[in-house]
Structure formats: C-alpha cells, structure tokens
A and B are shown apart, each in its own frame.
Chain A
Amino acid sequence: MSDNAYEPVIVGFLCNWCSYRAADLAGTSRLHYAPNMRVVRVMCSARVDPQFVLKALREGADGVLIAGCHPGECHYVEGNIKTLRRYELLKHMLTQFGIEPERVQLVWASASEGNVLAKAVDRMTEQLRALGPLRWQETVVQQDKRPVSTDAVVEEVDRG
C-alpha cells in the first residue's frame, strides 16, 4: 500500500467451519493475497444478519464478503442455502440504494480451499479499487434526502 493510493476496506463474514479455516489455510500455506479484508468470524454464514452488512457499509467499509461452506457441505446441514436466499434479497435492496453489486459478494470456500478464498479477496479488492470508495453518506443517505432506517428494510428482506 503506498501512502496516497486508495485502498478499499472489505469486511469479511466467515463461517467458523469452512471459510474461516480456508482463510487460516491460506495463511498457513503462505498464499499472499490482498491485506484489505478484515474478518469477523461467525459460526455459520446463516448467522449473518443483513443488518451486519448494512452496518459495515455504513461504518466505512467499501465492500462486504460473506463466505460459507459449499452447498451441500454446510456444517449445519443447509445454513449456507439460507444465506444464499437472504443474500439475493439483500443485493436486490442494495441495488435500489445505488450500491454497486460488486460491493457485497458471497463465495463458497471449503476448509481445504485457501486458494479459492485468497483469489476471491484479490479479485474483490481489484473490483473495489476500480469502483472507488463507497461514500455511504453521498450514495445512500443524501441522495435519498431522508434518513434510512435499515431495520425496517431488513425486516422486509427477512420476510421476503
């Protein structure tokens, strides 16, 4: 990272069983990848409340990466399928906010796929560098001219 260049910050929500271990494995195998992702560990990707994603974007993250086990390999049988459903709805809402789809991504990485996770972070970092900072204030809040109560929208997402 040079001093002046813009470097995106990604918040990664990684499940305890597959993707967090994939990130551990990437490190153990000394696979170097973009240091732009900061990880929040959750037990299952299905624990990722859409509010967490909105919170991260609102608090200054340029993107959010959610990672889980491959479909069919979830430690909790099918938590990742619930994540996928929730993610599609959330994306739909974010697009309406004017947030580019690349900013919130979902990837599957098993505990043995350190390389898959590292590549996903590299790719996403590149995409976000090209997009530039998110600027939640300008993109979402001011454009809308009214305060956004994320909770109301999130409830809608979950009901949908």
Chain B
Amino acid sequence: MSEERVGVYICHCGTNIAGTVDVEDVARWAGEQPHVVVARDYKFMCSSLGQELIEKDIKEFGLTRVVVASCSPHMHEKTFRGACERAGLNPFLFEMANIREQDSWATNDRKAATQKAKALVKAAIERVIHHEPLDPLQVEINSSTLIVGGGIAGITAALELANAGYHVYLVEREPSIGGHMAQLDKTFPTLDCSACILTPKMVEVDQHPNITLLSYSEVEKVEGHLGDFTVTVRKKARHVIEDLCTGCGECERRCPKRVIDNSFEAGLGFRKAIYRPFPQAVPKYPVIDTDNCLWFQIGKCRVCERFCPTGAIDYEQQDELLEIKVGNIILATGYKLFDPRRIPQYGYGRLANVFTSLEFERMVNAAGPTGGRIVLRDGETEPKSVAIIHCVGSRDRNYNEYCSKVCCMYSLKFAHLVHERLPEAEVYNFYIDIRTPGKGYEEFYHRLLEEGTHFIRGRVAEVTDAARQPGEEGKLIVQVEDTLIGKQRRIPVDMVILSAGLEAQPDAREVAQKFGLGCDANGFFVERHPKLDPVATMTDGVFIAGTCQGPRDIPDTVAQGAAAAARIASLISQRVVQMEPVRAHIDEDLCSGCRICNDLCPYNAIVYHEDRQVSEVITALCQGCGACVAACPSGAITEAHFTDEQIMSEIEGILWDVRPQGAHEAALA
C-alpha cells in the first residue's frame, strides 16, 4: 500500500465546477497529499483529450491508482474506468469524487464548495489506495425474453424480438391482448381507425412461431438476474380448454347471463358470463367469469357446455403455475384512466350525461355499444351541444400535478368526431393551455378552429344541473371563468365529456417491487436516465416501455417498445455480458457458523454447510447489497469494492480537516 502511486485529476466541467470550486487550488493541494504522484486540473476530463491525459500519465508516471474529481459516478465512472483499462490498469483501481452534482451545483459558496471538494478528493485518495484489482463477472444471456403487458408497447416489442429470431413470452392479465388501444375508435391526428391498424399486429403475435402468448395470466414471482431470470407465471383458469376451442362463439351466444362490461366497454355495454372482450380478441378463446357464471354461483345452467360443439368447456379447470427461463424482461403494463368521481364538482356518476373520455371513445366506436351513435345516457337523444373539459385530474395540485400529454389531442379528436357525426351540434372545449407538440398535431388544432369548435380558456369550476337562468332548464351548466375575457360564464349543454388524465396502474408499486424497480412519486416506473436511457431501469435486464413509465401517446409508446426490444437484441447478440463484481464473500476461517447472515439475505444467496458449520455466499445469486457484511459479528464477510477497510479509510479522508489529531489513537490505547 505504501508504494501506491496515485494520479489525481480535477475536472473544470467548463464552468460547471470551476465556477464554484477553486479547481486549481484543489489540484495544487491534492499534489501535496501522500501517495499522490501527479495532480492536474483540466477543462473537460471526460473528453477524449482528458482521457488520453490519464492514459499517458499511467504509463509515464507508473500510476497504480487513479482519482478523478468531476461529476457523479453514475455519469462517467464507466468512461474513466475505460481510460484506466486502455492504459493497462485494472479498472477497479480507480475512484471518482463527485464534486459537481453533490458540490458545485448544490451551493454558491465558493469557499465552502472548495473545502468540500478537498474533503471528497481526500476521501477518494484514501479509499483508492485500498482498492483491489477485480474482474467483472461474466454472465451468459438466455435469448428468451419475458414481456409483461400486451398493449401496443408490449406487442411492438414482442414482434421486434420475435422477428429477430428470439423467443418471447408475452404475458397479459386480461383475456385478450390489445390494451387500451383496442378500445379506441380513431387515433389522432390522422384519424386512422385504431382497430384497423392494431388487429393485424395482434394476429401476427398470435401466429408468430417465436411468441408464446400467455393471456389471462399474471407474473407471480421473479428470481435471478440479467441473463438468467426464472419467472413463475400464473395462468388463470379460463374454464375453456384452449386445444379444443375453435373460437366459434356459440357459448357466448347461448349464455343466458348478461353482465355490465365495466372493463372493455367502460360500463356502457353488456357482455355474457362467458365472453371474449371484443370480436377481434387475441387469443380467440373465451373465458368464464366465475363471479357471474350461474353454474359457479348457484350451481345451475351448464348451457355453454351443452352447446359447445367441441366439448371445450371445463368447469373443473384450475390455475396453472408455469416456470419460464428468460434472459431479459420488458414491463409494458400501461396506465389507468383517472377516475373522475374523485372530482365531485364535475358530477360524474351523479349527473347522467357526464361521460368519461373512455366512455365516449367506446360510444363513437362503430363496434361499440351504441354502434357509433353519439347519444345521451338514455340511448336515444342526440345532444345539441357538447362540452369537453380538459385536464381532469391533470395539472391540478389536488390530484396529479403532471400533464397527461394526450388529453388535449384526444379532446380535439372528440370535437372533430362530434362535428362529423352531429354537424348541427355546438362543441365547446374548456382548456387551460392547448398542448399540441407532435407531428401534425398543431395542424390538427387549426383544423378544429376552422371546423367551428368553441375554445374557452379557463379551468371549469363546476358542472351542475341547477338552472338559474332561462334556457338552462334541463341542461348541464358548465360554470367557468373565461380568462381571455376575464368573465364568469355559464354554458348550458346537453352532454359533458371529461378528458381524464393518465395515471399509473393501481398495483404499479407491487409490480415494481416484484421486478426490483423504483416508482416515482406518481407511481410511474423510474427509468435509468430520464434523457439518455429512457427504457432501461436500475435493474440490469429489466426494461420498461410505454405509459407505465409516464403518460405518452401511441407513436411514442411504439417507439419505446421497439427501443426496449433493440436494447435486448443487442444484449442477446453479445451472448455474454460483464457485470459489476460487487459481491459478498465469506472467509470460512473466520466464520463462526452463527447463521445471522443467512436470514438477512433477501436473495437466499447464503447457504449454510452443516458439515463444516460455516456459511457460504453463492456469487451468482448475490446482488452485493452488503446487509450481511454489516451484520457479521465475526467480520468474516467482505463486500468486494466496498470493504470495511475501504470505507473506513474513506471516512478518515472525508474528515481530514476536522480530525482530532491523535485523539482516537489515545482513546483506543
């Protein structure tokens, strides 16, 4: 250790660091520290010239350790490790001091920032001399992929990977894939028929030899790591034998039990107790809803069994647990629509003719419950005036502060569809701001302005049926401050559509935990980097795509699905990838066999050998958290790259300027 030769590099990062930290002073001071052979400051250490500087010094000065003080290790640790490796130094003999994110950007106080930078640099120097050369772990990548969620994001990703020749397991918890997109009528701004562009892809998934479709199934358990996950999937009992069913639909026609369809038809239509969510459902097999089926509830009926021409009904069918092995995972679990009942002043659920956006979506759909007719809740009367209220549950501190991104555009689409189907009707859009970033989106807005939609700028205060003025009787009155003219207005209409925002799935946190991800404050999955790594997560081998990561429209969702697939294809084609060797190890000579660590490990990576009375860490299962290391009373466990010695030295270094000289030696004497 005493002969280690350390090189220290202080980055200016333009003025990002140098504007607050006196980098020259830090470099000069660092040069005077024990073990330090060379200390420099440089404009941009991450540039190729900066990296070459390190490489050159390693060779010229025979450096055995390198410290770079710059940004967060999450930003450039890899970069500098690479520079060390190119110059023949083991990449783990490098340490980074974060003097940008956690210093220069967090204060304006130049003196304090410089002092803090010195402490962080000193900590890195003290730590790095205890570093040991390590070799990355080699992991083989299983070429199969699990995709959770069969919406357009999951479908896109599945097809991309399957077409590349890799096997995909697509798990969907509903009876059919398709997701929310299958419920839509038209898609903005091109007004393509949603089903017309989606169903061919659904069929392709169904028929693809590389895709195993597990619909009506949910992931129970995930074990393992990048390259080698073992996933347990619960295939819920459909009570229909898939090998026998031809999808003729006779059972559905004969079933005597009608049920309100709260899921696909958003409560506007009916289905049977044995059903397929919609005619183009993939797979084609129906499912028995045991909560409503007469046989399961009162023990009578069995009509479907009697009429099934192939004998495919099986009331005794049980859930099946499947264990599948995959190398990577994509989560594409989608969103849930904001429930407008949470805003009672908008009257949804209380005033009949207030509709949610999804209800309207089903209503205008030619295959929907009204056959595409826009009618009031009575099912007959066509509205003469329609109000569309934007930002319901979005951009509102009482509910969700974020913008749901798609509501402006779908509200414009709704306005267009009303104009198209009911040319005489007046259409009002109540908005805070119109947000139309996207190809052809602003043009679509202008088209609506020309079609004669009334745009009123202001957040709606209330929707009420209490008439105050003549002409308001029997109408819904929208109370709003028109902020462009600075006046309160009451607009009587026949129908109100609430453009509800997008929210994370209610069980998003549960799912995140299952797969080892993080959720943000709103419940959306956290990406590895918001700009440069939007589909990867902090967990290697687990990717995210679509609205489970945040609100977005169909084109963005499709792009993310394909992006996640591309990332995985690249991993699979590498066959073997390298992983951080940060893992725990037990020294059997020191282990007392107390087994305290055994129960602490969340991955069951520690086994106890009865014969030798010692515990052992299975490296392949260990994730390197270090919980066992901190708990071992014998000090028998070490965590590579985070050893006690390294951290203790780091603590001494970080407190170099406040350490009582000789005090603790005296205390321990």
Contact = CB atoms under 8 A, between A and B. Distances in A.
Interface in B642-668: 642, 644, 647-648, 650-652, 654-655, 658-660, 663-664, 667-668
Interface stretch (B103-111, B439-447, B448-456): B103-111
B625 A44 contact: yes
Interface residues of A, number: 65
A78 B516 CA distance: 11
A1 B625 contact: no
B102 A11 contact: no
B107 A33 contact: yes
A56 interface: yes
Contacts of B327: none
B109 A35 contact: yes
A77 interface: yes
Contact of A38 (B518, B526, B539, B654): B654
B400 to A, nearest CB: 14
Contact of B625 (A25, A28, A79): A79
Nearest to B520: A112
B538 to A, nearest CB: 6
A1 B630 contact: no
B491 interface: no
Contact of B518 (A28, A48, A110): A110
Contacts of B520: 110, 112
B116 interface: yes
Interface string A115-130: 0001000000000000
B625 to A, nearest CB: 4
A100 interface: no
Contacts of A88: none
B116 A38 contact: yes
Nearest to B105: A27
A30 B509 CA distance: 29
A18 B650 CA distance: 21
Contacts of B668: 147, 149
Contact of A59 (B109, B538, B627, B655): B655
Given A24-B101, A39-B102, A76 B627 contact: yes
Contacts of A24: 72, 74, 98, 101-102
A147 to B, nearest CB: 6
A112 B658 contact: no
A17 B518 contact: yes
Given A35-B113, A76-B623, A27 B100 contact: yes
A136 B663 contact: yes
A37 B631 CA distance: 26
A23 B639 contact: no
A72 interface: yes
Interface string A1-29: 10000010101000001101101111110
Contacts of B102: 23-24, 27, 39
A39 to B, nearest CB: 6
The 8 closest A-B pairs by CB, nearest first: A47-B626, A27-B101, A46-B627, A60-B658, A27-B105, A76-B625, A77-B602, A44-B625
5 contacts: A11-B651, A17-B518, A31-B106, A44-B627, A111-B538
Given A28-B101, A47-B625, A50-B630, 13 more contacts: A1-B109, A11-B654, A24-B101, A32-B107, A32-B108, A35-B106, A44-B625, A46-B600, A47-B627, A55-B652, A72-B509, A76-B602, A110-B520
